[in-house]
Structure 1
Amino acid sequence: MRHSSIFLGLITAGVALTGCMLVRPAQHWEPFPYETFHSQLVIHSDAPLSGKQRLLDELAEQRGLINSKLSLVPTETPIHVYLYGDESDYTAFMNLRFPEMASRRAIFVGTDQKLSVYAYWGDHVAEDLRHEVSHGYLHAAVPTLPLWLDEGLAEYFEVGEGRRGYNITHVQLLAAQAQSNNWLPELTRLEALDSAADMTQQDYAESWAWVHYLLESDERAEVLTSYLHDLADGNPTEPLSTRIGRRLIVPQSALAEHVLTLR
């Protein structure tokens, strides 16, 4: 993973991750002179974004993709995206505001008042923004997402439309383990995670695998979407692992088998 998400005051990506949790005001340290609106997104940049329209349009369209795939009710909560044109300026900001995450290429910051994404325009900007903006859309609709599920969904949607959530990095990592029978995917272990800063590449991969396994089947997808609806409505609900075990009776081997089919 390459991302990092910081969910401040809500709930809440190790090897240069994007997509984490800190308790600190989410403020940028200087004005961004350029501002454009793309559906639910408010894009702030320190340089003109001429020639970048295709990606910005894709990020705006991702709202419909996520809401449709997860059967979520769309919201109008603004998601502010702060884009630095230069990596050094972004790094200086990170060192000042979020030094724990200074190695991350992009972060999502969520508070009770504001949803924000910070990133710079680099080689991985499309993937990074799809991941972090996914966090924004998800938290706008379901503010109380469990950490593992939040990251698993962002990993699923970061690959872009038309790929059915296929994340080749995670497939390669997990398929090698599954093939050697050296993988014991325990969803309850993921559900116990409470700090994205402590999540490993393995944790991100397994979180993605559970999401992909559920969403790529109509029957299994309903287990996930009904769980999300209960969270969005504020209804008391048991962990998703309990629902899966009760309704689908999914052994560990089923997830491993699913990953092997994706090689």
Structure 2
Amino acid sequence: MSRDASPASDGPPALRTTGVSAGYGAAGTAVTDLSLRVPQGQVVSLLGPNGAGKTTVMRAVSGLLGLHRGRLTGGRVELFGKDVTGARASQRVRAGLAQCLEGRMVFPGLSVAENLASGGHVRRYRGGALTEARDEVLTLLPRLGDLLDRKAGYLSGGEQQMLAIARALMSRPKLLLMDEPSLGLAPRIVEQVRDIIVSINEAGTSILLVEQNARMALSISGYAYLLEGGRVYAEGTPEALEQDNDIAAAYLGAGTAPVTPRGADS
């Protein structure tokens, strides 16, 4: 497959990484010379098998590598045209970035309302701004409005995932990183999560999506990168990736129905 194609957009992309390399001490390099971009207003997927380096990429973008004893060994990270390579995670949040971590990572001992409030902490809302932000989030995820007083640890897996997404949205991000949002969920709930991602994007938020469920991810993405061994193995539109027989067999399952990209005629 040609590697010349790239997603197009007016203005600087929401995210651009250039030649990013990162690793974890004695474990060696997990990501090597990785360049990708997320145009403003688009969903871009980052796909690949376990151990391909997808979560490391997310940590490099969000500034969380150090929390996992990792470090950036080369390259550059830009948010909306601004170099944030050396910026702290909190500074990146103020620049418009938020992340839904793999495994949901809600605070089980806190209520849904308290989890949501924690998501707006970096924004330092004053007056009624925190309540306004919460109301906006609950409009998108109304189920959580009935659960505000419930401890997050008592929620179902699907409800916890919705809470994780809602907490990230409390900072009103312009770019949302989503790491395996469908992991461990029943097919019916996966469809709900898919619809939520679409709604978030339609409201104007750019999204970088890491997913094992490649078919779901490609159905809502405008562009995708496939990682193998910490490097970009292939990239392109969902339609182009599907036309590559090797990629379709490895990532989409041989003999399955074609991916129907978002917005395509039914």
Normalised TM-score (structure 2): 0.25
Name the structure with the higher strand share. Answer: 2
Name the structure with the higher helix share. Answer: 1
| Structure possessing the higher relative contact order (Cα contacts under 8 Å, 6 or more residues apart) | 2
Normalised TM-score (structure 1): 0.25
